[in-house]
Amino acid sequence: MVNKVIKLFRREVAGLHEAAILLGLFALTSQFLGLIRDRLLAGSLGAGTALDIYYSSFRIPDLIFATIASFVSVTVLIPLLSQKISEGRIAEARNFMAGIFSSFLIVMAIISSLVFLLMPFLAEWLAPGFDQEARQEMILLSRILLLSPILLGLSNLYGSITQAYKKFLLYSLCPVFYNLGIIVGIVFFLPRLGLSGIVWGVILGSSFHFLLQVPSIIEFEFWPRLSLTAIKQNFEDIKKVVLISLPRTITLSINQIALFFVVALASVLGQGAISIFNLSFNLQSVPSVIFGVSYSVAAFPTLSNLFYKKQMKEFLGKIREASQHIIFWSLPATALFIVLRAQIVRVILGSGEFGWTATRLTAACLALFSISVVTQGLVHLFVRAYYAGGLTKKPLFINVLSSLLAIVSAFGLVYLYSRVDFLRYVVEKLLRVENLEGSIILMLPLAFSLGSIVNVVLMLWMFKKDFNFELRPLADTFIRALLASLLGGAVSYQLLNWLVRFFDLNTFVGVFAQGFLAGLGGIVAMFVALWFLRSQELKHLMVSLRHKFWKVDVVRPEPEEL
């Protein structure tokens, strides 16, 4: 039995759809645990000051992760590792990883120490709306969380080995165990240690994230080794990693800086605004992670390999195929999230200290975030497509522009919403939050979605120009998926109204049953529509499911395919 488990973890998955489905299934598991995590947080703390402090404490550690830990990202290391491995220079690859590990650990130790000391000053900028007591609590939590970017950075570093050898099962388990660690913190540590107990749960989950890379480290003998000699011997390669990573790092930094400003703005919009923003963002991330991230991660090693071998026709074909499947899955999810937003929020978050006003505002924010689910998934893919070829400047330019747009839009929309009665009336009427205190928070997810939409439009235009990429197949898939989604959304909406007479909507069971049956009806309608529209993506899905990838041996790639 033990041998079978070990063999399962060592198995490679080479097919795009099989790898994407595998990653998607575990992403679904991770997101399910994430929803349990958020339900526990909302039920235990409510949308108030305590949860605002918890979410705010992540901003500075996340910024460190984006600015420092992203230098050892798998998207940068995999092409370099693949080249060394394919040329049979295994010992050189191991020494290279030792140099990267040593450089990363030294830099992170220095930066984390400085930030630890400067945290009181940084907190004043991050949360201007907090009182002194809340700010002190946030400083404590942020200092503990400084361990997280170190652990996650190390996991990313050695995760490049896991992905280079296509060990997607191990890689896909990381977010599952990360969320398990946080849940342990909420259930067991929170009652004993307060808010800091949840944060120690985050550190536990980050530790799990890294420890899951250990089997690949052992199997391929890429041992962590602190060595100044390895840094010196691999100085040119390390400099190359830094130069390639720099545009990507700036891109991620800009995104985190954008969130920094948004959270700072939310802190002055009222108690619970940060919590509502983060909880609704986490909910809309479910389809984005399951579909967008899964396909982009599954495609990346293959894209790197194809670009390295200059097989551009196959390279563009894989991007087109992955893009079509992201659209195929994401548009129906968008329609269902908008129609079923109230049921989703009530089932997942509506318990304990999470009140009715917070529920309605979170549902409205979820609808606005959901507009950009498709665009977020496509951005993940096309950014990796650029990185597969070592081209990082174009995504940098586009992400900087779209992030700046999101920041400016957030401040501009908040200003207009507070002064233009007609705008406030239209938004509140459309999202059914009439005369609800705190509805100004809706401008933040709207600004985020606008930035994401502009991002993908510019990304597609630039990619078409750089690679002569054909957009027509994507447009065809979009139209089919949109028509099916509109039909499914309409069916779900009608079923919601019809099912009211059968269920008590004041109970968890009643709300869940109403939303589940309405959603199921909408999904059936979508698949029927896609069948009549002759969707190729639906056909590919059926083939992949019949393939039963988890029961089929996948041939180990040749060295040059790594």
pLDDT at 550: 40
3-state secondary structure 72-98: HCHHHHHHHHHHHHHCCCHHHHHHHHH
pLDDT at 210: 87
One pLDDT digit (tens) per residue for the chain, 562 residues: 434 444 444 444 444 455 555 656 766 787 788 888 988 988 888 888 899 999 999 989 988 888 887 766 666 677 677 677 767 677 877 888 888 888 888 989 999 999 999 999 999 888 888 888 999 999 999 999 999 999 988 888 887 777 666 665 666 778 889 999 999 999 999 999 999 999 999 999 999 988 888 877 777 777 878 888 888 888 887 888 777 777 767 777 787 888 888 888 998 898 889 999 999 998 888 887 777 666 666 666 677 777 777 778 878 888 888 888 888 888 999 999 999 999 999 988 877 778 888 899 999 999 999 999 999 888 888 888 887 776 777 888 888 899 899 999 999 999 999 999 898 999 999 998 888 888 899 999 999 999 999 999 999 998 888 888 888 888 888 998 899 999 999 999 999 989 888 888 788 889 889 999 999 999 999 988 888 887 776 776 666 655 544 443 332 333 232 3
Using CA atoms of 107, 112, 118, 120 in order, give the dihedral in degrees to the nearest 10: 160
pLDDT at 484: 92
Phi-psi domain of 352 (left: phi exceeds 0; alpha: psi -120 through 50; beta: other)? left
pLDDT at 4: 45
Q: For residue 12, what pLDDT is reported?
A: 46
- What is the structure's pLDDT at 340? 92
Q: Which amino acid is at 377?
A: G
Q: What is the pLDDT of residue 352?
A: 73
Q: Which residues fall within 8 angstroms of residue 442, CB to CB, at 6 or more apart?
A: 361, 364, 365, 368, 417, 427, 431, 433
- What are the distances in angstroms from CA 295 to CA 35, 190, 322, 329, 448? 22, 36, 6, 11, 23
Count Cα neighbours of 477 within 13 Å in the Cβ-side half-sphere.
23
Phi, psi of 429 (to 5 degrees): -70, -45
* The pLDDT value given to residue 201: 95
Q: How far apart are CA 120 and CA 104, in angstroms?
A: 25
Per-residue pLDDT at 72: 67
